[in-house]
Structure 1
Amino acid sequence: MKLPFLLCLALPLFLGQLCPAKAKPNLIYVVCDDLGYGDLGCYGQKVVKTPRFDRMAKEGLRFTDHYAGHTVCRPSRLVYLVGKHTAHTAIAGNNMHVLPKGSVTVTSLLKKAGYHTGGVGKWALGHLGSTGHPNRQGFDFFYGYLDQGEAHDYYPEHLYRNETKERLPGNVNSGKRNVSSEKVTYAHDRLTEEAIAFIRRNHKKPFYLNLTWNIPHTNNEAKGNGQEVPDHGIYEKEDWPEPEKGFAAMVTLMDRDMGRILDLLEKLGIEKNTLVIFTSDNGPHNEGGHKVGFFDSSGPLRGYKRSLHDGGIRVPMIAWWPGAIKPGVSDHPSAFWDWLPTACELAGTEAPEDIDGVSFVPTLLGKGKQAKHDYLFWRWSRFRAVRMGKWKGVQTDKKLALYDLSEDIGEEKDLAAENPSVAKRIKAIIDELE
């Protein structure tokens, strides 16, 4: 009787070797800065070249109705970290906010679920020594800018490696905030190299990388031309204003580096166990010499950064996961606050109950029923916005305009007077969330 008993003990181990448990997918969440809905070829851009993003969209899932957390940087980033829209976060503007100790973020949840967590790029929620420092908010590793304002400068004197200030060779500040007189080391290149190094170091275990590139944001303090790049590349001979050459070069540079990351995943043999999401923190800017209409950065949408019309908040999102995601296009309405529950579901861990986000895993994988939002909500200064199905309400100083996005993606015709019951429902949502 001993032999069968020993076989019974050994059988589960043997079967486990034949059919190992499915590994947790690696998660890479890339958020760039001020990229418009119309700035990529796969979203209709005709001039600026983005071949790798276009290929990524062709091989993955392109979302047409995805929204940022806000129309400016800091609150938008807070939204995806905590899974709540701006009625339920501590800030709804670019005012300083430090994440308090014990904050429940997507990063801290993934860390507890066994992920090695890395943040590379622009961080805006806590300085050195504060409770909001990335290393105190779930990130095992951080490299980049801690100060949102400093991230305007593409040639800073230093970046931060965890809690250590690290010099960038050759860069010298001019004596003016965020303006360098000696420009040698381009910060975007450093950020990309650090992201690549993080993937190489951690590719044999589940990892989460939150890569927050600060291009194509302008350097607001560099008067006249804030689109700082080492060179204009393929756009050098174009008969365009210098800031437009710089903007186009930034987008194409970012396109190249997205391709480098996807190529690395394939080289390491982990592309079929890695979800990569690319998106933007808000709509396109009209600053630093760059004109939002020059390349039609908002596409068919009304408005741009600092507006709650869709041009300020509807953003590109591409999800890439070979073998798991069926290539296509999705019009599922989703938003930044959905990332936390989506990441948690993929990691096999529970999301908090008090969030606003809805996992879009069923849409990604084409399996199961996709839960829908009752509405999406934003607040900014004296403005409020609600998306409810095909309807979009934008309130300014208590006056509500109503648009049917299925017929009027450019939000040109106010239908509030013709649809008083819909306007009343949206107004009630806004009032309830005040």
Structure 2
Amino acid sequence: MKGIALWCLSVGFLAFGCKEKVMPKGAVVPDTPNIVLFFVDDMGWQDTSVPFWSQRTPYNDLYQTPNMERLAEAGMKFTQAYSTAVCSPTRVSLMTGMNAARHRVTNWTLYKDKLQPMETNHKTLQFPEWNVNGLSPVAGIEKAVYATPLPQVLKEAGYVTIHAGKAHLGAIGTPGEDPLKLGFEINIAGHAAGAPASYLGTDNFGNGVEGKEVWAVPGLEKYHGKDIFLTEAITQEAQLAMDDALEKNKPFFLYMAHYAVHTPIMADGRFVQKYYDKGLDSTEAKYAALVEGMDKSLGDIMDYLETKNISENTVVMFMSDNGGLSAVARGGEKHTHNKPLSSGKGSAHEGGIREPMLVKWPGKIAPKTVTDQQVIIEDFYPTILEMAGVENYETVQQVDGISFLPVLAGTQSNGTRPLFWHYPNEWGPSGPGIGASSSTRVGDWKFIYYYNDGSMELFNLKEDIGETQNLVKEQPEKARELAKTLSDYLRKVEAQIPSRKDTGEQIAYPDEVLITHNG
């Protein structure tokens, strides 16, 4: 890679010099900020005491996340931030700046060259040969997207790059399974799998258990046999890694990507009893404890930054990889855990893709600010590089994301642009919005097209955040407009489309279906 340089931001109050400044205790550090991306697995929009809606909900009163509250008080809250509906597509978009329709890692990855069983066994759809091998930093890996990873660009710009937690970026036996091959200098507990065999140190995090080899969390042997939760162990290791970065007198990028709050839903003994005492069923009590343990980690990281006197020169970003789990494995009624949003993980509805997002940057972002600006996961790639002062960088991939730095500065919005989601796959469970689909949001309007039966949904999210009223029949012109916007994009990026098993013919684009139905 060539043409990487550090530069000085000069827009509004985001301006900072290229000089060095002397921090307390005599440490000389560059003005370039440290960046912490705190990335949570399967955390829903409602899994927090921070309200991301216009009003508090019972869920905001159930979950205890005081450190998310602390982060929101110090920075900006995004009420309309989006990822994809499942994990690997989101993580690849984050690391490449590409939309899932373009990078084609459209479902979760694990085994090399293999489609998921629920895809090969589908009754009516033949799914495309999507990039089951995930992200690759080198060319020539079949069924993988060749791209320049975000940490590689940061590393070449002088950052110490730290991966902590879940990777889930490439299939077993491919370069993408190892964060150290993606530009990270330090890898803590990251590998190909997307869930831990166990959260418990007393279980060795699943190591040594027959049948759990794929899911066993690697690299935390010093905690084996100890009474420690996985979230805590990863946090302690991340602090040690930041210590090493500070000793090198270099800025660091910490990708703090917890396995929590993904299944298996296991009790974090530090917090679970209070939720039992509240009368929650066993599963939901354990889930709430997982959430609180994640939040405790966030607090520990922020405390570390303050103790080391680097908080004022550190960006802290908070995001989730997809909507909260609701279709399976949870207590209570399915598809309700993210209300007022509809459905959850795996769904094209808001419960599957809208995420809690917070950003703190002292002196650059006004405290206690809230924005309804729409952002999507691929926007993090150019934003983080701009925060780091990296310009003129070259990538082998086309970056779809748009920097939201002006939004953080309060100087301008990103305007109204179409957002796109593409999931030509099968997740497994059933429920609202779950199934092979493509969708777009333009302003307040959202359009979803389902490949299995050609059905469509049109919602006005401003008036109907719960997606309860399908307006396709009442608003045919708007449906036609968004169907064309979506279809044009899918054609432009050459998105993969499922076919019919019985005929082998590709499923029609949504605008073609509307033309057929409406003449």
TM > 0.5 between the two?
Answer: yes
2:77 aligned to which of 62, 71, 74: 62
Corresponding residue for residue 373 of structure 2:
332
Code of the residue aligned with 1:144 in structure 2: it is A
- Which runs of structure 2 are paired with 1:387-402 in the superposition (5 Å)? 387-397=441-451, 398-402=454-458
Report if aligned partners of 1:358, 1:373 keep a CA contact under 8 Å in 2: no
1:305 & 1:17 partners in 2: Cα distance? Answer: 45
CA separation of 1:114 and 1:406: change in aligned 2, threshold 3 A: same
Alignment partner for residue 113 of structure 1, among 147, 150, 157? Answer: 157
CA 295–431 in structure 1, closer or farther in 2 if over 3 Å, else same: closer
CA contact (8 A) 2:109 2:169 kept: no
SS at match of 2:165: strand
Q: 2:278 is matched with which residue?
A: 238
Q: In 2 relative to 1, CA 318–18 (structure 1 residues): closer, same or farther, beyond 3 Å? A: closer
Q: Could you say what secondary structure the match of 2:62 adopts?
A: coil
Letter in 2 for 1:366: G
Q: Secondary structure at the match of 1:343?
A: helix
Alpha-carbon deviation of 1:336? 0.7
AA partner of residue 331 (structure 1): D
SS in 2 for 1:279: strand
1:1-400 paired onto structure 2 within 5 Å:
23-43=31-51, 44=56, 45-68=60-83, 70-96=84-110, 97-102=133-138, 103-126=147-170, 130-132=174-176, 133-155=178-200, 173-177=208-212, 184-203=227-246, 204-219=249-264, 226-231=265-270, 232-286=272-326, 289-291=329-331, 297-327=337-367, 328-350=369-391, 352=395, 354-367=398-411, 369-372=412-415, 374-380=417-423, 381=425, 382-397=436-451, 398-400=454-456
Looking at structure 2, the residues matched to 169 and 190 of structure 1 have their Cα atoms a distance apart, in angstroms, of: 11
Runs of at least 5 residues in structure 1 that lack an aligned partner in the other structure: 1-14, 158-167, 220-225
User: What's the TM-score, normalizing by structure 1?
Assistant: 0.85
Describe the SS at the equivalent of 2:277: coil
8 Å Cα contact 1:172/1:183 also seen in 2: no
2:438 touches 2:449 (CA, 8 Å); kept in 1? yes
What is the rounded CA distance, in whole Å, between the counterparts of 2:193 and 2:240 in structure 1? 24
- Distance change (3 Å), C-alpha of 1:46 and 1:170: closer
TM value normalised by structure 2: 0.71
Q: 1:17 Cα deviation (Å)?
A: 7.7
CA change 1:131–1:36 in 2 (3 A) is: same
Letter in 1 for 2:449: Q
Query: Structure 1's 128 and 141: CA in aligned 2 closer, same or farther, altered over 3 A?
Result: farther
Q: 3-state SS of the aligned residue for 1:283?
A: coil
Change (3 A) 1:90 1:289: closer
Rounded Cα–Cα distance in structure 1 between residues aligned with 2:352 and 2:420: 13
For residue 42 of structure 1, give the secondary structure of its aligned residue in structure 2.
coil
1:359/1:407 CA distance change after superposition, 3 Å: same
1:430/1:55 Cα in 2 relative to 1: closer, same or farther (>3 Å)?
same
| Aligned amino acid, residue 93 of structure 1 | N
1:406 aligns with 2:406: no
1:243–1:106 distance in 2 versus 1, CA, 3 Å: same
How far, CA to CA, are the matches of 2:470 and 2:329 in structure 1?
A: 32
Distance of 1:18 and 1:349 partners within structure 2 = 19
Q: Report how far residue 57 of structure 1 moved.
A: 0.8
Q: What CA deviation, in whole Å up to 9, does each residue of 1:157-203 have, x standing for no partner?
A: 9xxxxxxxxxx869664434359998844322211111122222223
The residue type equivalent to 2:38 in the other structure is V
Q: 1:152 to 1:363 in 2, by over 3 A?
A: farther
Asked if the contact 1:292/1:298 (under 8 Å) is kept, the reply is no
Please tell me whether the aligned partners of residues 98 and 131 of structure 1 are also in contact (alpha carbons under 8 angstroms): no
> Does the 8 Å CA contact 2:268/2:293 hold for their aligned counterparts?
no
In the TM superposition, what whole-angstrom CA distance separates every residue of 1:335-369 from its partner, at most 9, and x where no partner exists? 110000001111222355821101000111223x3
| Structure 1 residue matching 2:102: 3-state secondary structure | coil
User: Number of matched residues?
Assistant: 402
Matched with 1:420 is: 476
RMSD: 2.9
Unaligned runs of 5+ in 2: 1-17, 23-27, 111-132, 139-146, 218-223, 426-435, 496-519
Which stretch shows the higher mean deviation, 369-378 or 379-388? 369-378
Counterpart-to-counterpart distance in 2, 1:109 and 1:403: 39
Contact 2:85 2:352 in 1 (8 A): yes
- Pair 1:175–1:230, CA change in 2 (3 A): farther
